[in-house]
Amino acid sequence: MIKFLQSGNRAAKYILAGFLLILAASMVLYLIPGFMGDTAASETGVVATVAGREIHRDDVNRMVQAQARGNQIPDFYMPMLRQQAVKQLIQQAEVFYESERMGLKVSDQEFRDELQYGAYKQAFFPGGKWIGADKYKQMLIQGGTTVENFERDMRLDLLQRKLFVVIGANAEVADSDVEKAYKDQNTKVKFQYAVLKLDDVKKSVNPTDTELKAFFDVNLARYTNSVPEKRQIKYFVVTDKNIADKVTVDPVEIQRAYSANQNAFRVPERVKVRHIQINTPITGTDGKVDQKGVDDARAKAQDVLKQVKAGGDFAALAKKYSQDPGSKDTGGEIAGGWIVKGQTPQAFENVAFSQSKGQISDLVQTPSGFHIIQTEEKEDAHLKPMAEVKSQIEDGIKQDKIKAQINKTATDAETMAQKQGLEKAASQYGAQVVQSNMVGRNDALPGIGPQPPLMDAVFTTADKAGPQAARTQQSTVVFEVTKVEPARTPAFEEIKDRVANEFKSQRANDILRRKAQEMADRAHAEHDLSKAAKEAGATVKTSDVVSRTQQVPDIGNMGGPASVAFTMKAGEISGPLNVGGSAAVLQIVERQEPSTAEPGFAQQRDQLRERLASEKRQEVITLFLNDLGARLEKEGKVKINKAEMDSLAKSRS
């Protein structure tokens, strides 16, 4: 099943794409601790339960944080994000329940394949090489989770994928649907068109001061506090480079770190291998095996093995016959050649590690297919000598010291500035105090440049709070707010130009829509676009014969609003179309519809069928999810804690 999803098969990709569209948040939760985890680990209330599986408040907040990806979320937007997160988590729990009910399971081999060949292959198998259990654990801890939580959530995702493959497997596409899609996609048209441009209409709008003032009063809410808050600060900067240059590492520290972290420097037993892989058919969703396909693959592999045994060049034969895309082009060399135990399927591993140096195996069968394995080198498990890892250890210690010193400097500089003032504190660090002008939240400070996190700190610090320290990417900034100009609503005269421009734009759009509708109505009544265009003050132009992917002057891409032309008959006139700041009316001159007897249909047929099948699968999956949710609610398996939902809607968390 997982091999199917990992293959180059486009249908598999469409299924997976549909799954990701429906459960977009699930992938970003892998490195978030405790998702759908043990209820005892939660410190917050239960928001909902699905068939006994609890969704906690901290699950919701973690999903919101993951979607924010480190960006500051405005308070007013948080309730909506939390509601969306609750819906997504409930849907995921419903899917998990249904998967278990249907008896779907994830095998250890499927899990290993996903880890090595799926979304995390670059993280855990860079260059195809396993990073090792210790580094694997360390990376997950640094990401804020544990091996147990990560692997549980990964298995949950695989289970969900399986369910969607099963649900979408019966979506079929009729030949007539493929033919219709081909004609729709490849039809070409030639048309006349009349365009009314917004800029031309806008030039004719000349409002009086009385009209502008009335517009300002009616739309006062639009201008309320539209002059943003500004602040003036004094500050000095301590760069990280000044700190880093003073940090040193003692050889004794290196030796101590080496002795205390021996496991981090152990190299497991490994072998360097090449292989030739002949794929076997994928097991169907019904669990049946294509035995004829397996037998054919075995016969082909046997033929290649004979050539290898006869003295053929292994690398050349791998490039010619191997069906493993990850090693074919490197002459069968896996992940730089070296593998460790646990990296490959068990049958493959047993042979690779048991062979002598230079030995070539007979056929070895794994879930992927048949393999011919050449063991090129063998290396026993050993501890790397300190000389080999000295620079690595030294760099790690230095970076830790730099981080600690940066944090200490920020705290010390802030404390000193609060007690002695900015000037004296700055002199202690060889820095100069800078006085800013009045600046907005999105402005840049002299000597620092654009730094949104710093400006957020500046604008969230209470007035008269005294000196504060904030971090930028490469420095610590100690600042003090000296003046605050609150956001305010400007007087009409102050923003008269802005009001005039917005009045003209709104009035011009209203006029444009009206004139375009009148032109379309007149053209339909007279069945004469040229006459209607002349009366409206528009010029009629004629396009070339164009397809959906082409551009037409004044109209733009034919895949946009003008795509309606491909649904019209010769002589037919469209309604008014909004084409990027202009309005247009079209009349079809010529329509060229392709024939399915053309060679192009045969070339596009399979691709079209896959696309249509994907769309149908997504429709089936969407209907399934809707029906599943309704059924579980009716059965009383979905329960919402209204008190917790109300609390989430109010708190910023």
Whole-number Å distance between alpha carbons of 264 and 140: 15
DSSP string, 203-241: HT----HHHHHHHHHHTHHHHTT-B--EEEEEEEEEEHH
256 in a structural domain? no
Helix axes 209-218, 496-526, angle to 10 degrees: 90
Phi-psi region of 641 (alpha: psi -120 to 50; beta: other; left: phi over 0): beta
- Tokens 């569209």, residue located: 21
- CATH number of residue 542's parent domain: 3.10.50
Provide the b/e sequence for 474-486 (b: ≥16 CB within 10 Å).
ebbbbbbbeebee
Residues of the chain whose pLDDT is less than 70?
1-44, 68-76, 283-287, 335-336, 650-653
Determine the 3-state secondary structure of 343 from DSSP: coil
How many structural domains is the chain composed of?
Answer: 4
CA atoms within 13 A on the CB side of 154: 22
CB 74 within 8 A of CB 60: no
Domain check: are 158 and 13 in the same one? yes
Establish if 50 belongs to a structural domain: yes
Structure tokens given for 100? 């278990």
Confidence (pTM):
0.54
Q: Which of 467, 470, 436, 466 is nearest to 456 (CA)?
A: 470
> Which pLDDT score, from 0 to 100, does residue 281 have?
86
The answer to whether residues 32 and 635 touch, using CB atoms and an 8 Å cutoff, is no
Neighbours of 561 (CB within 10 A): 19
Are the C-beta atoms of 557 and 503 separated by less than 8 Å?
no
Q: Please indicate, yes or no, whether residues 36 and 163 belong to a single structural domain of this protein.
A: yes
Q: What angle do CA 22, 25, 28 make, to 5 degrees?
A: 140
Q: CA 129 → CA 117, 118, 344, 356, 472, distances in Å?
A: 11, 14, 10, 22, 36
What are the backbone angles phi and psi of residue 318, rounded to the nearest 5°? -65, -45
Of 485, 516, 548, which residue constitutes the final position of a domain? 485
| Contact (Cβ atoms closer than 8 angstroms) between residue 609 and residue 178 | yes
Q: Are residues 502 and 449 in the same domain?
A: no
Does a structural domain hold residue 253?
Answer: no
Residue 458, in any domain of the structure: yes
Residues 192 and 128 in one domain: no
The per-residue pLDDT for range 192-220, each reduced to its tens digit, is 999 999 999 999 999 999 999 999 999 99
Give 387's DSSP letter: H
Task: Look at residues 323, 346, 380 and tell me which one is the last residue of a structural domain.
Answer: 380
* Whether residue 287 is found in the same domain as residue 375: yes
Between CA 28 and CA 615 the distance in angstroms is: 24
Going from the C-alpha of 418 to that of each of 411, 445, 462, the distances in angstroms are: 11, 22, 15
- Tell whether 294 is covered by a domain: yes
What is the structure's pLDDT at 286?
A: 60
Let me know how long the chain is. Answer: 653
470 has which bridge partners?
477
pLDDT of residue 596: 87
Burial of 124 (0-12, 13-18, 19+ CB in 10 A): middle
Q: What domain range includes position 22? A: 2-172+616-650
Specify the CATH number for the domain of residue 143.
1.10.4030.10
Task: Tell whether 339 and 426 lie within a shared domain.
Answer: no
CB atoms inside a 10 Å sphere around CB 30 = 20
Is there a single domain that holds both residue 9 and residue 67?
yes
Note whether residue 250 is domain-resident.
no
Mutual angle of helices 78-101 and 147-168, in 10-degree steps? 70
Q: Are residues 438 and 518 located together in one domain of the fold? A: no
Statement to judge: residues 12 and 150 lie in one domain: yes
**Helices 599-634 and 175-186, interaxial angle, to 10°?**
120
CB 441 within 8 A of CB 431: no
Q: Are 147 and 43 contained in the same domain? A: yes
68 and 144 in a single domain? The answer is: yes
Q: Which of 349, 380, 411 is the last residue of a domain?
A: 380
DSSP H or E run through 112:
helix 108-117
- Does some domain include residue 304? yes
CA–CA dist 54, 93 (Å, integer): 9
Q: Is 528 helix (H, G, I), strand (E, B) or coil?
A: coil
Residue 479 in domain: yes
How many whole angstroms separate alpha carbon 556 and alpha carbon 543?
11
What CATH number does the domain containing 325 carry? 3.10.50.40
Answer yes or no: are the C-beta atoms of 318 and 273 closer than 8 Å: no
**What's residue 408's pLDDT?**
93
Q: Does one domain contain both 564 and 427?
A: no
Q: Enter the tokens of residue 175.
A: 């030949």
